[in-house]
Amino acid sequence: MNNKIFGLVAGAALIFGAASCSENWNPPTQEDGSVSLASMGLDVSNLEKVITATVGSGSRASMDVSGFLVNIYDSREALVGSWKYADMPEIVTLPADKYRVDVESHSIEKAQWDAPYFCGSKDFEITSGKITSLGVVTCKFASLKVSIKFTDELRKYLGDDTEVTVAANDEGRLVYTPAETRAGYFEVIKNSTTLVVTFKGTVNGNAETLQRIYTDVEPGQHRIITYNVKTSQDPIPDETGTIDPTGGINLDVNVNDEDLSGNVNVSEEPLPDEPRPGEWPEEPEVPVLPQEVLSSDVTSNSVVLRGTVTFDNVERVGFNYRASGAQEWLHVEGVADSRSWAAGSTFSATITGLNPSTVYEYAVTADDYVSDVKTFTTAKEAGQEAATFDSDVFNLKAVNKVSDIPSETEAKVLISCPAGISHLVVTINSPSLTDDVLDSVGLLTRFDLAYPDTSSEPDGKDLTMGLQSLGFPTGDAVIGATSLSFDITQFLPLLGIYGRYEHEFLLAVTDQNGLMSTCSLIIDSDVQ
């Protein structure tokens, strides 16, 4: 099945940028810990299989998740916090415990027009004196989508009173008319898996009623119910419309010397990643296959897409593409590499005008066929690389013991920032190095080495002297620097003053292009 990622939205990638930017956060006590909500990204996935694709220009805006609802529950299922995604605090301090964060697109109703419901959850644990990073919460399509369609051939015979009533979950009910183009969305509740679809109206002058019942409704399905007519050679039993419960609506009337019989065709598109057992016994043959995009085919603003023809007699091939999260697909025709569409031949298309450092989705097309969706990422522009961190002394992905650091070694983290540093925010997360302790050496638990003097701000201080006395670069030595050494050699003796703890130095570098990169330096003060 195809996976269409409608939206990828995150604050900072890790807890570090979140912690450095929060102005309302209180450091956790010995019994509490914190969760970085700014580290939570939303991966909004609609796993609906693409049967056809609408191609053309139009809005390419990503799904707006700012109004998504975020709720946090503790291990006793008590609600401990509730916000809209756009209004979440960056860091929340909570007692040490196990928690669950639930995210939903909106408060679901029994039945709504054009209101797809997405939801997801993730378990996490708060540890005393630690900041927990949430990472990505995947929100999947979780309601039932129902589309009602009428073929143009049938529309000629429908009266103005025609309507289709769809009922689900015991209470949800929507009425579709032939003029209705919207999709309906229904809540799927436990122990209520029945969908009732009732056609009622005048067909070629005859009053017709037909009810179909489906008993395998599941969250994430898309039911497409199409009413049509088709030519039949069966004799006409009489001149009035009749109902055949097994075959659907039979329009047994004589129209222009044609016998018309019709029924209800139901096309089901279940949306889980894998088909239900026995649903599709084997993969159908496909006329074309997409080829993987090679790194040599991608620049910061262009890509070469390629495909392979598997059938003879394919007439037109091409590619649909869009930025991941965009609503509309764009299309480009494919060019045959061998001037032929015979099976085994290849074709390609060059697409320009793309954005750098962007994930794009693409699918290969052949006549009316559209393949599964694949992705590629455009390259970064020169000078757009975010800051990186390295160290010859510290393992930046593990806990470092002070006892393992040779006494004569300079304890440094090396920062490389091609676009030049704009801000270098340091957050010290330590059970023992509180604001009071750090204030005694002219520091705080959070400071920006680029702008250490905040004395003009409410409750601000000038930390310049204290930082420089400990060997930290400040001000002009930081702003615009493309390489910098974060040296805590003189700071190490402070770590073990009040006992053995783990101390985190959270570094958040923002470059002059606005790109943020973060690093966590964790040190165990195991030497007293």
Query: Which tens digit of pLDDT belongs to each residue from 61-72?
Result: 346 788 889 999
pLDDT at 46: 58
pTM flag (> 0.85): no
**Which of 49-63, 90-104, 179-193 is least confident?**
49-63
Mean pLDDT of all residues belonging to the chain = 75
Tell whether the model's pLDDT for residue 310 goes beyond 50.
Answer: yes
Tell whether the model's pLDDT for residue 479 goes beyond 90.
Answer: yes
Tell whether the model's pLDDT for residue 398 goes beyond 60.
Answer: yes
User: What is the arithmetic mean of pLDDT over 109-136?
Assistant: 87
User: What is the arithmetic mean of pLDDT over 118-138?
Assistant: 85
As a whole number of angstroms, the distance between CA 462 and CA 445 comes to 14
Whether the Cβ atoms of residue 199 and residue 265 lie closer than 8 Å to each other = no
Q: 3-state secondary structure string, 376-439?
A: EECCCCCCCCCCEEECCCCCCCCEEEHHHCCCCCCCEEEEECCCCEEEEEEEEECCCCCHHHHH
- Is residue 125 classed as helix, strand or coil in its secondary structure? strand
Tell whether the model's pLDDT for residue 421 goes beyond 90.
Answer: yes
Tell whether the model's pLDDT for residue 7 goes beyond 60.
Answer: no
Tell whether the model's pLDDT for residue 154 goes beyond 70.
Answer: yes
**Percent over 70 (pLDDT), the chain:** 77
268, amino acid identity: E
> pLDDT: is 249 or 185 the higher one?
185
pLDDT at 16: 31
pLDDT at 145: 87
Between strands 97-104 and 69-74, the pairing is antiparallel
pLDDT at 528: 54
pLDDT tier for residue 191 given thresholds of 50, 70 and 90? confident
As a whole number of angstroms, the distance between CA 266 and CA 224 comes to 6
pLDDT at 295: 78
pLDDT, tens digit (0-9, with 9 covering 90-100), for 216-272? 778 888 888 888 775 444 433 333 333 333 333 333 322 222 223 334 444 444 444
pLDDT, tens digit (0-9, with 9 covering 90-100), for 120-129? 899 999 888 7
Tell whether the model's pLDDT for residue 279 goes beyond 90.
Answer: no
User: What is the arithmetic mean of pLDDT over 27-53?
Assistant: 57
**Order of strands across the sheet that contains 412-416:** 388-390, 412-416, 483-487
**Nearest CA-CA partner of 445 in 430, 423, 467, 466:** 430
> pLDDT: is 229 or 178 the higher one?
178
pLDDT tier for residue 527 given thresholds of 50, 70 and 90? low
User: What is the arithmetic mean of pLDDT over 83-89?
Assistant: 87
pLDDT, tens digit (0-9, with 9 covering 90-100), for 342-381? 777 888 888 988 888 888 999 998 877 888 888 998 887 7
User: What is the arithmetic mean of pLDDT over 477-502?
Assistant: 86
**Percent over 90 (pLDDT), the chain:** 18
DSSP 192: B
> pLDDT: is 111 or 231 the higher one?
111
